[in-house]
Amino acid sequence: MSDSDAQANPKNDPANPELKSNRRNFIKTGALGAGAAAAMSLPSSLNAQVPDKPANTWPGPKTESNPYGKRPGGGISLPDYFKPWPAIKNNNFYMPGMEILPKNEMRISFLGSTPWPPTRLQSGTSILVELGNGTAQPRRFFFDMGNGSIRNAIAMQVPAPLINDVFLTHLHADHFADLPYMYPFRAFAGGFEPLRVYGPSGRTPELGTKHMIKHMREMNRWHEENFHACPVGDGFEIEVTEFDWKQRNGIVYDKDGVKVRSWPRSHVKDGAVAYRLDWEDADLSFVFTGDGRPDELSAKYGKGADVFVSEGTIDAPTLSAMKLGAPSELWEYTIDIFHTMYYAAGYLFKQTQPRMAAICHYEWTGDALAAESVAEVRANWDGLFMFGGPDVQVINVSKDAIWAREAALSDGAAPAAMDPRWLLKPGEPLPETMSLPTPTMPREMQQEQFVRDLEIDPKLYYPEDVYRKPVQKWPGVTLNPREMLAARGIKVDS
């Protein structure tokens, strides 16, 4: 495939007057801010206030500090398509499990948004892209799986058995650290089918995704064998699709109207890539640059994306040195060989003209540097913009509108309730009964008898009225899926 064949046509190309702006006015233009703060203040009745006009045609004077003119609600960088619609049940917060994602609508959730240091507000980088099908379980694609991000995926009511199709941008730990933690527990939780992982090759086979996955499983051998005392089926198997890191807009995934393409990125070591997902049926697209220096290929292949997500780093080395103690030259060196500073992210946004631009993989430093961060982006970009953190920020995308909110998540355990339909293959009818896989390594195969002999007799700690005989041999478990669903008030056609 040639480079030109794979390019998308720009969409919603906003007017971009060449206006001179000073630094103070860049700060004034603002952004949706941390967690789309500006979006949160707009009224729920915005649909009724916004007439059917193309973007950037609102009447009103255009000034140096307001390149757009008059806006509904007063936001100077909020286009008319930034508005909620009926499928959005709460305009201020995304409530996991409370919204069915309609057909032809996309939802993007930033499950993690920082490289280092991890904080209570930000986990390692991970972006969940969901494609609506009108059911409670949309199609899902995970871009990276950084440290702590699975906690947010579970809190977002993503069923553990349905976590699949993980696309790695590169093999830095902050982009895949939750993968060795997630996959064995996914199998334990009912993910009995193999996990699918996609990732780039390296300059040598030992530096590619396949090699990493192979040795990740070797590292987890004790864990895998231990969990084989439980029903896990083929859930520990990992199907790796490793592609040439050098390919330019080459197809990585092509199934059921969804294509994912990749191109190389400059991130010190060969083997880092960016991704673009195109959903043909809905004519919607998503780009994630992964990590790297600002590059021509991202500007070329990212054109016209509905949502373009870049990594970002504030270019304030002197201030970083004062706050963290390391020499400013260290920060300059790190930025200049590894990363995209906010100025450059804004430049990429200007080149690609997305309907929504966002920055992920950044350190949220709080209000002290928020204005400086926004100012650097606004030096080149005056369109719709937000930061992908603190976790979890959610963007809903349709052909007509875009809306951003923060997710309202529980601090406690809040996994989605078990649904036997998760255990079915696509298109498979619901059977009358379902048997769980038989464990292949009971504990008698893994443990010396004397260790079990040292266990305390349960009769010594159970009260007599609650004592039950321990179940220590696999009993064989058969489910009645209709009864399980009926107990939750869910009716299924016979």
- For residues 210-218, average pLDDT: 98
On whether residue 10 sits in a domain, the answer given is: no
What 3-state DSSP class applies to 413?
Answer: coil
- For residues 31-58, average pLDDT: 40
What residues make up the domain containing 438? 423-486
CA angle, 338 as apex, 334 and 344 as ends, to 5°? 100
> Considering the entire predicted model, what is its pTM?
0.85
Least confident range of 37-51, 234-248, 473-487? 37-51
Say if residue 434 is in the same domain as residue 305: no
pLDDT at residue 414, as a whole number? 83
Tens of pLDDT, residue by residue over 338-369, are 989 999 999 999 999 999 999 998 887 766 77
The chain-wide mean pLDDT, for the chain, equals 86
List, in order, residues 6 or more apart from 322 with CB less than 8 Å away.
Answer: none
On whether residue 464 sits in a domain, the answer given is: yes
Give the N- to C-terminal CA distance of the chain in Å, as an integer: 47
- For residues 404-423, average pLDDT: 90
> Band of the pLDDT at 137, cuts 50, 70, 90?
very high
Say if residue 80 is in the same domain as residue 161: yes
Q: Which of 152, 149, 157, 197 is nearest to 177 (CA)?
A: 149
On whether residue 375 sits in a domain, the answer given is: yes
Say if residue 290 is in the same domain as residue 330: yes
Q: Which of 302, 406, 313 is nearest to 357 (CA)?
A: 302
Say if residue 402 is in the same domain as residue 432: no
How does DSSP classify residue 458? G
Say if residue 339 is in the same domain as residue 482: no
> Band of the pLDDT at 322, cuts 50, 70, 90?
confident
Say if residue 330 is in the same domain as residue 477: no
Report yes or no: 168 and 209 within 8 Å, Cβ to Cβ. Answer: yes
The residue type at 324: L
On whether residue 494 sits in a domain, the answer given is: no
- For residues 130-135, average pLDDT: 96
Tens of pLDDT, residue by residue over 222-231, are 999 999 999 9
What 3-state DSSP class applies to 338?
Answer: helix
Q: Which of the pair, 493 or 453, is modelled with greater confidence?
A: 453
> Band of the pLDDT at 49, cuts 50, 70, 90?
very low
What 3-state DSSP class applies to 349?
Answer: helix
On whether residue 18 sits in a domain, the answer given is: no
Tens of pLDDT, residue by residue over 85-127, are 999 999 999 999 999 999 999 999 999 998 888 888 889 999 9
Instruction: Single out the residue in 407, 433, 464 at which a domain terminates.
Output: 407
pLDDT at residue 143, as a whole number? 99
Q: Which of the pair, 70 or 104, is modelled with greater confidence?
A: 104
Q: Of the spans 361-365, 443-447, 487-491, which averages the highest pLDDT?
A: 443-447
Say if residue 174 is in the same domain as residue 272: yes
Say if residue 318 is in the same domain as residue 175: yes
Instruction: Single out the residue in 407, 434, 463 at which a domain terminates.
Output: 407
- For residues 309-335, average pLDDT: 83
Say if residue 355 is in the same domain as residue 441: no
Say if residue 158 is in the same domain as residue 217: yes
Tens of pLDDT, residue by residue over 139-193, are 999 999 999 999 999 999 999 999 999 999 999 999 999 999 999 999 999 999 9
- For residues 58-85, average pLDDT: 64
Instruction: Single out the residue in 407, 435, 457 at which a domain terminates.
Output: 407
Say if residue 402 is in the same domain as residue 431: no
Count how many domains the chain has.
Answer: 2
Give the whole-number percent of the chain exceeding pLDDT 90.
68
Using CB atoms within 10 A of its CB, is residue 435 exposed (0-12), middle (13-18) or buried (19+)? exposed
Confidence check: pLDDT of 45 > 70? no
Say if residue 210 is in the same domain as residue 308: yes
Check which CATH number belongs to the domain holding 290 and give it. 3.60.15.10
Q: Which of the pair, 132 or 427, is modelled with greater confidence?
A: 132
List, in order, residues 6 or more apart from 107 with CB less than 8 Å away.
Answer: 101, 129, 130, 132, 138, 394, 395, 396, 397
> Band of the pLDDT at 320, cuts 50, 70, 90?
confident
pLDDT at residue 404, as a whole number? 97
Tens of pLDDT, residue by residue over 193-207, are 999 999 999 999 999
On whether residue 418 sits in a domain, the answer given is: no
Helix axes 179-188, 209-219, angle to 10 degrees: 60
On whether residue 164 sits in a domain, the answer given is: yes
On whether residue 292 sits in a domain, the answer given is: yes
